[in-house]
Structure 1
Amino acid sequence: MEMTVYGDYESFRGLENREGEWVEIFRVGVERSCVGFNATNSRFRLTASRLTQVRMIDPLNNRLFMDFKNIHAIPHMSHKERNYPIDTIGVVFNTEARFDDPARPRMIFYIRDNIDSQIKCVATGKQAYAFRDGLENVEGGQVIVALKMWKVCKSWNLFEAPDLWLQTEGGLSDFRFNPRLTEVEDFRQSLLNSDPYVQKYGIEGLV
């Protein structure tokens, strides 16, 4: 979404150096975009004034910005819902690094929930390297990852069920390994209650 600043713009100076980061905006006007050339595909645009406040945030550490969707619910999302990036939580497994082409680095992995639902995930660009390095630095057994704002991708096959996966959407997407979130602790507990692997090897496999 585009935001235009009128008048005093000193308080917004420097934001051009924070591209790709998340912001929280207060006291801003919302208008419909004019017909014609637009910098974004949003139907609305923001208008900032001297009263507008912009603050940099980390959405994965801010409960107001969390809306985690269950893995088993993703295949049943409507076409409209799939137009928007989603958040989800899962146990990481079957990782595969594909860095042969420097122009298209990819980190492919799967995540699963506590009822054996799973989904393929693809981290691209700089986030592919960040995911690989971050995963290597995690100590312990199973790793729970929280994905924030990942795009739902779907391809159709004439003779098989549609292929569905999650993929990073540029700087919009984020991820955290074993974050200290209430939702993650609830998910961890659900693994203990229903996951045969965890029941066999115990809680120490998750920490």
Structure 2
Amino acid sequence: MTSLRHDFSHTPSEYLHSHLLELVQLHKIYPDAITNHGPYYNYILADEDGYKMEMTTDGDYPNFRGLEKEEGRWVEIFVVEIERTYPCFQPTSSPFRLNASRCTQVRIIEALNSRLFLDFKSIHEIPRMHWRDLRYPIDTMGVVFNTEAYLDAPSGPRMEFYIRDNIDHQIKCVVTGDQVYAIRDGLDYMSGGGRRQVIVALKMWRVWNLCYFGPPEIWLETEGGFADFRFNARFPEVEEFTQSLLNSDPYVQKNGVEGLV
């Protein structure tokens, strides 16, 4: 079983050549470039402890065609190169990145593919995060309110909304591009025309923290193509959050709740 944190963190530089990953999840898949044969993709891998590492591909390799449809699956990866990352915004906090080649093989482990992983941060935790951790995407969830869509904005479609938890903390979320339409339609459907409270779980969104004068302004934003959300309320963390809302939130008790994941 591979630990993405420990298997590489103590590896001398002269041994950072190739590796076997015995059990990792294709946590997030997003397009990186377009070639004559179509797009090829980058992959965010997660191990059983939730530690994440990026794997890039430098070409439209036959062994990877169709793998973009397997997000969330657990796999073994054979013969992948390891390199150090640069000190800038990265999709993961790992100091290493994996680079797949034509020799890389990926095998799906069917027996494990009912297992899912999201590393949820509570909304009230986000303003207290260390500045180093703000360089990497996070997962979080909350009840949606105050939604505004700007479909004709000069810079492209944009949506802003807020999410809150069950102890009255909130944070702004900003969506851009095609995801605006997807999340707008999803919210309309799940809320039943505004009659129900909706829980949104956000996967790999970037935290922005700006402070010019006065208190800092903090918000979440889609970034780099890997931010996501899904329509599925079966994660244990979401079910636990939903139950806590039903026990303590008067708006949810009155109007009901739907899960948007």
- Scaled to the shorter chain, the TM-score interval is 0.7 to 0.9
Matched, 1:46 2:99: yes
Higher helix share: 1
Alignment of 1:111-130 (within 5 A): 111-130=163-182
Residue ranges of structure 2 left out of the alignment (5+ in a row): 1-54
> Which residue identity is paired with 2:217?
D
Pick from 221, 225, 231 the counterpart of residue 167 of structure 1: 221
Q: State percent identity of aligned pairs.
A: 53
CA–CA separation in structure 1 for the residues paired with 2:64 and 2:105: 9
RMSD: 3.2
Tell me the secondary structure at the aligned position of residue 193 of structure 1.
Answer: helix
What is the TM-score of this pair, normalised by structure 2? 0.62
Other-structure match for 2:234: 180
Is the 1:146–1:178 Cα contact (8 Å) retained in structure 2? no
- Please state how far the C-alpha of 1:133 moved relative to its aligned partner: 1.3
- Cα gap change, 1:152 to 1:62, in 2 (>3 Å): farther
- Please state how far the C-alpha of 1:48 moved relative to its aligned partner: 4.0
- Please state how far the C-alpha of 1:91 moved relative to its aligned partner: 0.2
> Which residue identity is paired with 1:26?
I
- Please state how far the C-alpha of 1:65 moved relative to its aligned partner: 3.1
Is the 1:141–1:205 Cα contact (8 Å) retained in structure 2? yes
Other-structure match for 2:62: 10
CA–CA separation in structure 1 for the residues paired with 2:79 and 2:163: 38
- Please state how far the C-alpha of 1:130 moved relative to its aligned partner: 1.1
Matched, 1:205 2:205: no
Tell me the secondary structure at the aligned position of residue 133 of structure 1.
Answer: helix
Alignment of 1:13-28 (within 5 A): 13=65, 18=68, 26-28=77-79
Q: How many residue pairs get matched?
A: 188
Tell me the secondary structure at the aligned position of residue 240 of structure 2.
Answer: helix
Tell me the secondary structure at the aligned position of residue 137 of structure 1.
Answer: helix
CA–CA separation in structure 1 for the residues paired with 2:231 and 2:198: 7
- Please state how far the C-alpha of 1:104 moved relative to its aligned partner: 2.0
What is the TM-score of this pair, normalised by structure 1? 0.76
Is the 1:144–1:178 Cα contact (8 Å) retained in structure 2? no
